[in-house]
Chains A and B, each alone.
Chain A
Amino acid sequence: MLIKTFYGGVHPPGYKNTSSKPIRPARIPKRVVIPLSQHTGAPCEPAVAVGDIVKKGTLIGKAAAFISSPVHSSISGRVAKIAQMPHPVLGRSLAAVIENDGTIKEEDAPPGAFKDEDIKALPKEALLETIKNSGIVGLGGAAFPTHVKLSPPKGKKIDSVILNGAECEPYLTCDERLMIEKSEEMIKGLRVISRILGADKAYIAIEDNKPNAIAAMKDAVRRTPYTVRVISLPTKYPQGAEKSLIKSALNRIVPAGGLPMDVGCVVQNAGTAYAVYEAVYLGRPLIERPITISGDCVSEPVNLSVRIGTLASDLLSDIGPFIASPGRVIFGGPMMGIAQYTMDVPVIKGTSGILFLAKDDVAQYKEGVCIRCAKCLEVCPALLAPTTLANLVKKSRWAEAKELGITQCVECGACAYECPAKIPLVDYIKFGKASIPKR
């Protein structure tokens, strides 16, 4: 078969030095900071008051709108405060701080799980309700509420579900490990998603630098009665970007300004499928997720299953001593992740990794002059001209920037990665996107 791929792309070094490290549980922290806004959409309203005793899994933030997602306590303890706290994406946000001085027993809130045989008989609305109430959001980074993605408007026929196991960001291996360790559970989660959408085709797309994950998933597919195709994709960043993935896996082109559902697809992150499994089969809300902790300062990079709300500083005891003093702490991967100003920032649902990068590695390149080498055009998966857009943004020429497709940028960072003049192209484009006058 012809190898299909998406347009553009770059080949940064992989740094996948945790591929063979099984996911192990992190130490349960004495204190968690659970932001009430961990997703795309409206922030939650607090469902608890200061002083309340909560169990692991107790609802602490109610979804305030359809595009929103509830949050639950990830430990048993007492609500110490509800206040503005550091947030890895938003800078600061309202968060519930739960503390356990050791006097409160770790206890699960009563689960509401379904049994295997129940599921086939359940109406899809019940499954969707479970996913919604469990606070499931996309675990790839954007944290879009999953129940919204699984509720396409009437008239949009979804025929294919793609499980995104590309994990194209360097360093990150939590999805890879999850695919190896929880293959069957993930397929069950995928099956639930397919049922809700009424999609008859299911795919798992994995980059070919993860042969063990590909083998594990193929093996698991054989053990289940479901028809799922495992697709091996060439390793190229940003293979995991939604529209790129659809082009690579199905050779379908999502219209500009459109959504995957416009071409009959829904893409879900591999980790999300596992979270769906946990919610539906085990009755567990999303209070824990695997993350990769790596970077050149870390002596023993690991994959950890971390309670949501655990501060990065509290995870230091789970990794070996630093080899070098970290100059930068990145939440997410090195291509799209966000640099933090403090280590007292919590892991949230969309956090896929924490990187501790050394100071000498700090890419403090001075912005040079564009020599029009056109590398940014060649690598752009959205087929834009990043250097032209950056120049228009510098001159506040918003209308032209919009005409040239600035809103189509997926902010993958391929252009800025490749730029020989080290121009922060993505930053200019992000600024431009935010500055375009809203009609």
Chain B
Amino acid sequence: MDPLKVTISPHIKSGRTTPNIMWTVIFALLPAGAAGVFIFGLNALYVIIVSVASALAAEAAIQALRQRAITVMDGSAVITGLLLAYNVPPGVPLWLPAVGAFFAIAIGKQAFGGLGHNVFNPALIGRAFLMVSWPIYMTTWQNPRWNVDAVSSASPLGLFKQGEFGLIKSFSSWDLLAGARPGCIGEVCIIALLLGAAFLLIKRYITWHAPFVYISTVGVLSWAMNGQGGLFKGDALFFILNGGLILGAFFMATDYVTTPLSRKGKMIFGLGCGILTFLIRRFSGYPEGVSYSILIMNAATPIIDHYTKPRWFGLKEGTPT
């Protein structure tokens, strides 16, 4: 008989693995990407493909340089590539997502030590890099492809910033839900995003805490202080459905690595994101603030973790000996 193997308990483990989680998130992201391609046309698809390919290449190349195991098949680089593509306008030249995804992986992730060690969401690092480097490309919007002749080529949030309240009215709530508006590839189709998010929530890959608090905070603050003609006149739904809030709240404010561990921490994270998003949208020169809000809160994650350590079972009720 062969010698017995001595393993450590537990001797059975659940089937959930890191790659399994990553590929499930990718699956949940697909509807939003498909909708983006449908709305903006094939260039959106090319942007997605180039972005993912660049992310994978960067991951493999840097892991090879660092003489580490090549783990591109774990899906995490695919997520970064997808999220970056979802966060750029559909009409950008294809070298732009290539550079952005490379930067996201190289600086946003591998420079920190790779999977599990990055402080900031890599895709958002990539997006921030593109925003400051090529702001024109990053803010040149496209109308849905059945509407190319229309005048508007600003995003609804941009129009709001410019005070073009009349033009905003041309977007019905249905347009905003379905994604018939200028915007980034993966952020526009709210229905598709919610579909993927619901799947992740039901399958318990993410929890409701950060997204729910994030979205409600933006909704409440916008309603209270971002309307025309006084307090409590804001259109909460407009601010929830526009910009990258839904994409950010469900797919980036829930990123495991860069957000707090505890449920309480996740709620604080969501609250902070919500307040920052509102402040940026309301008071800064930018019409949109989701990505910067999440990045700033990423930096606050360690301190949130520190102050939201779980209170162990029985601590409140008695005196530990």
Contacts and interface: CB of A to CB of B under 8 A. Distances in A.
27 contacts: A243-B314, A254-B314, A255-B314, A255-B319, A256-B320, A262-B318, A325-B1, A326-B1, A327-B5, A341-B6, A369-B116, A369-B117, A372-B256, A372-B259, A374-B256, A374-B262, A375-B16, A380-B310, A383-B311, A383-B313, A388-B261, A404-B312, A408-B314, A416-B8, A416-B9, A416-B13, A417-B10
Interface in B1-59: 1-2, 4-14, 16-18, 20-21
Interface string A370-399: 111111010011111101100000000000
B221 to A, nearest CB: 27
Interface stretch (A16-24, A159-167, A300-308, A358-366): A358-366
Interface string B113-138: 01111000000000000000000000
Interface of B: 1-2, 4-14, 16-18, 20-21, 76, 114-117, 256-257, 259, 261-262, 305, 309-315, 317-321
A313 B137 CA distance: 73
Nearest to B11: A334
A328 B309 CA distance: 37
The interface residues of chain B, by DSSP majority, are classed as: loop
A417 B314 CA distance: 23
Given A357-B11, A370-B116, A420-B16, A327 B4 contact: yes
A256 B116 contact: no
Contacts of A255: 314-315, 317-320
* A interface residue count range (under 10 / 10 to 19 / 20 to 34 / 35 or more): 35 or more
Nearest to A6: B313
B309 A385 contact: yes
Contact of B10 (A257, A326, A384, A413): A413
Contacts, number: 172
B261 A374 contact: yes
Contact of B12 (A262, A382, A417): A417
Contacts of A377: 261-262, 310
A10 B6 contact: no
A41 interface: no
Contacts of A355: 11
A170 B309 contact: no
A257 B320 contact: yes
A365 B314 contact: no
B313 A253 contact: yes
B12 A170 contact: yes
